[in-house]
A and B are shown apart, each in its own frame.
Chain A
Amino acid sequence: MKVEQFSLDQLRTLLAGSGLRVKAGPFNLSIQTCLPSLTDQLYRMYSHYSLVDETEIAEFHVRIIPKHSIRRPFVRLIQFQVDGRAPFPPVPVEQALATLEWGINLVIAMRVNHLLLFHSAAVERNGHVLLLPAWPGSGKTTLCTALIHRGYRLFSDEFGLMDPQSGEFFPLPRLMPLKNQSIGVIRDYLPEAVLGPEIPGTLKGTVAHVRPPQESIERADETAKPRWIVFPKWSAGAALRLESLPQSEAFLLLATNAFNYEVLGETAFDAVTSLVRNCECRKLVYSDFDSALAALDELTDG
């Protein structure tokens, strides 16, 4: 069963009661909230997600709850909670969706240690994964959004989830937060993309989430092996460059970019070594989508 098969009233009852239990790639999430505005947004943005079987356990239990502040009595605040704990301070109610999504990402980054977690977008084409590791601000979510609307399957805009033993990558197709100017850029370039509300005033400025394509969510159980690693960087006015990257440099960039490399120790050392040895490594500098997509299509055609 999918979220879209509920009526809005049914979803509201579920979210306010025992929780909405949805599959997010290899994880099961339980979400609770009684906020009407957030319920409406989840109804639209989570419509393609499947519900978790009643027999399965949800790894992460998250809630968005109303919060009252003596210092800010006239501002409606909310707070994100995971297993009853609040890792973030309260924020205005308008930021509920962004806070929920960031909170879920934080929980995954902090708690998942059976997989190696790269801070990376990951998409699939021709049966293999293209990893796009990058630092915040490099435009990886924006590029990832363009790719998944041009024939690539979304694994994640935020996490490259690698099984260190098998080398397989797991899809984790979740909402993708575009920030500031990227919102207008994507609205112009991809009018067909489904975006959530613009949420101003967050720590990262204005945010609007992209809903993952239905096919990517429906195929979230299909893992794949990586074949290409491309470190992207958007640079205004730059001519396109897709250059080979020495494997030693790729190793260092990946090892320092992984959330839990040091936790996994030798396992991570072997996994990153194997990953780099088995992939073509490039760095990409671009300023427009058309040329970047053409270059990545050519790379992943083979």
Chain B
Amino acid sequence: MTLAENLFENLRLELRRGCLTLAVLAQLRQERYGYTLRKALADDGLVIDESTLYPLLRRLETQGLLASQWREEEKRNKRFYRLTPEGEQIFAQLLQEWHSINASIQQTINTTVNPTL
């Protein structure tokens, strides 16, 4: 990997990190277990490694944003996650922030590309 590619990869991961949390919180408004969550995210175009997603769920649970429960489904014990009330509140705030940042960046890009606008 060249220096420029390495730099891009680091910046890309940095950019993705916060977005992944937001996407996971968004998906877990509905109860899911790890694998179905990963599939749902991938279906929406957001592929996440197992080694990133499953530990992230644990961290969000430790922070009180998710609650989990072991339950049997299709003859197999699975750990289901969903947002806690605190998680819902934080998710709403983060979503608002994300919309705001997105709009600002879009505005900046438009102004830079066509300054007369």
Are A and B co-members of a single complex? no
